[in-house]
Structure 1
């Protein structure tokens, strides 16, 4: 925004805040829509996670790639807002998968997967620094958006092919574990209701 459309810092800040506000609204709506569709048995949990992830990743990147070919700042802003708002579908998509596959260890699974996913957080700026040597070059920005888009498309396709909502055997509580927890609670004087 600042290098191509000559926005000042305040304009850029205001424009780049709008997509994240829209994303919050969309994430809430996506959650309600996904739960309603699953409760009515219109879609399975696995399919819901996959569809939401494809919407979030693929359409976000599609709108970003289209935006980098536009010359009108208003059109670019609208495309950014729509694209980033659709990213709100990630919360009803792949971000909910740890709860499906390992309910008792969802926090740990999410932490590990998010740590791995965060690698792009430092590789992205490094790549941008290598690709974008002239910050006023639209062609270099387009290359960077295509790289970003390719990774997003690959991620959503990979998730759609391999994701599952089936609880993993290693994450299931065994009956012996339940008995041990019950005995521990009984020794400490806690009732079932307090547990």
Structure 2
């Protein structure tokens, strides 16, 4: 990869010139100390970004069902107490979620229709968070720190349940009751959005407090971030015909399918078949997510080390990370279907499964930025839409399979389907995936290259 070699050469040259020991960081007012790659503004941007998916996950889970993490399949008592009928699956980003009353609106104004309107509105607004985060990360994360900064941001998806489960229980048991839960997370979302609006900038070029050294360090990898290099149009045809885009879509579908099975079906399986009500214990509910949050940083650190030390290429690192997030999760679901009915064993399997699953955060989820920092948000919106569209079938398929919710045999089929999705989508991602920068990432740079080819006398002589 010639482009990558030039990028590393530029970074190395930049470090020698700008980061000698004891020299200032490029800002006239900065103290005389050596700049470090984990710069303050992009590091702070990653930490602030954590609050977005953290609060989004909590609003989604509290809005869909204010207890635990199970939300989809319910017994169809009209025919049989063991017959399940799939309900509308809970949304992840932009889908219409299962409706429950939003405070007292359903009593005051129009009943369930207004509830549905507000749920759709909430889903549409939350659909902007993940693509927006990817657009943001695409402008702030140089390659050698991309995994770690992305892990800080998306680690909020694991941190949200850890903090939210006990906090929700505390608020619900207070005089505020369940209406207070919805109000609290609504106000929290508004505060988080306000802080992010005033404390972050779209690009390093627009940040009022960034040092010159940090700005040059970021732009040495992702290119200029001022408006002069901003793409005017989205190259839809090039994106939709790029094999890396479809590899990401396929891998994203497998991760979403498995995640919905894990979060919705596993608690129901443990309750109906194993007689273990994991939702009744806040610590047991939060422990897998807490482990995910910690292992998230280990995998991100390891991925960056593999890339910086040139042990693996970017493409190989992303495929390895996604495999670590898919294969153990698939094996864990199969094992879970056959484990003895012991709480300790079940919890250990869940912890190991979730601990490895989060490795995909530095695999398929960050791959958009590798291919095109300028259009990573657009690519994420496409893969996110496709994955949620296909992934929402997971609880529906489970509902049709589970004609008897107490049958271990039927539950094994559900887990086998999810494990198969993990395995085969990861296999296709390994075959088709790439981490190389696309030539259409910077249309202006591509046009300049075409002009050079057109008017270069040496190239014309070679053609003749």
Give the TM-score band, short-chain normalised: 0.7 to 0.9
Q: Which has the higher helix share?
A: 1
Distance 1:152 1:175, change over 3 A: closer
372, 379, 387: which one aligns with 1:117: 387
Question: What pairs up with 1:74-85 in 2 under 5 angstroms?
Answer: 74-85=344-355
Structure 1 residue 12, shift from structure 2 partner: 5.9
* Structure 1 stretches lacking a partner, 5+ long: 179-195
Rounded Cα–Cα distance in structure 2 between residues aligned with 1:174 and 1:166:
18
Pair 1:87 & 2:354 matched = no
Deviations 1:128-186 (A, max 9, x none): 000111111111111100000001101110111100012222222314989xxxxxxxx
Task: State the match for 2:312 in structure 1.
Answer: 43
Larger radius of gyration: 2
Rounded Cα–Cα distance in structure 2 between residues aligned with 1:157 and 1:44:
18
Task: State the match for 1:55 in structure 2.
Answer: 324
Larger CA deviation: 145-154 vs 131-140: 131-140
Rounded Cα–Cα distance in structure 2 between residues aligned with 1:7 and 1:14:
14
266, 273, 282: which one aligns with 1:4: 273
Task: State the match for 2:414 in structure 1.
Answer: 144
275, 285, 293: which one aligns with 1:24: 293
Deviations 1:32-57 (A, max 9, x none): 01101211111111000000001101
Task: State the match for 2:440 in structure 1.
Answer: 170
Aligned-partner SS, 2:273: coil
8, 12, 15: which one aligns with 2:284: 15
Question: What pairs up with 1:59-78 in 2 under 5 angstroms?
Answer: 59-71=328-340, 72-78=342-348
Rounded Cα–Cα distance in structure 1 between residues aligned with 2:412 and 2:355:
21
Rounded Cα–Cα distance in structure 2 between residues aligned with 1:172 and 1:67:
47
* Structure 2 stretches lacking a partner, 5+ long: 1-269, 449-464
Distance 1:14 1:5, change over 3 A: farther
Q: Give the total of aligned pairs.
A: 178
Rounded Cα–Cα distance in structure 1 between residues aligned with 2:400 and 2:349:
26
CA RMSD of aligned residues (A): 1.9
Rounded Cα–Cα distance in structure 2 between residues aligned with 1:121 and 1:175:
37
Rounded Cα–Cα distance in structure 1 between residues aligned with 2:412 and 2:346:
13
Larger CA deviation: 141-150 vs 4-13: 4-13
Task: State the match for 1:129 in structure 2.
Answer: 399
**What TM-score do the two structures reach when normalised by structure 1?**
0.84
CA contact (8 A) 1:68 1:76 kept: no
Distance 1:176 1:78, change over 3 A: closer
**What TM-score do the two structures reach when normalised by structure 2?**
0.37
Larger CA deviation: 104-113 vs 70-79: 70-79
Rounded Cα–Cα distance in structure 2 between residues aligned with 1:74 and 1:36:
34
Rounded Cα–Cα distance in structure 2 between residues aligned with 1:132 and 1:17:
27
Structure 1 residue 9, shift from structure 2 partner: 6.3
Structure 1 residue 92, shift from structure 2 partner: 0.9
Rounded Cα–Cα distance in structure 1 between residues aligned with 2:445 and 2:315:
27
Aligned-partner SS, 1:169: coil
Rounded Cα–Cα distance in structure 1 between residues aligned with 2:367 and 2:360:
10
Task: State the match for 1:185 in structure 2.
Answer: none
Structure 1 residue 119, shift from structure 2 partner: 2.2
Q: Which has the higher contact order (CA 8 A, sep 6+)?
A: 1
Distance 1:76 1:120, change over 3 A: farther
Distance 1:126 1:89, change over 3 A: same
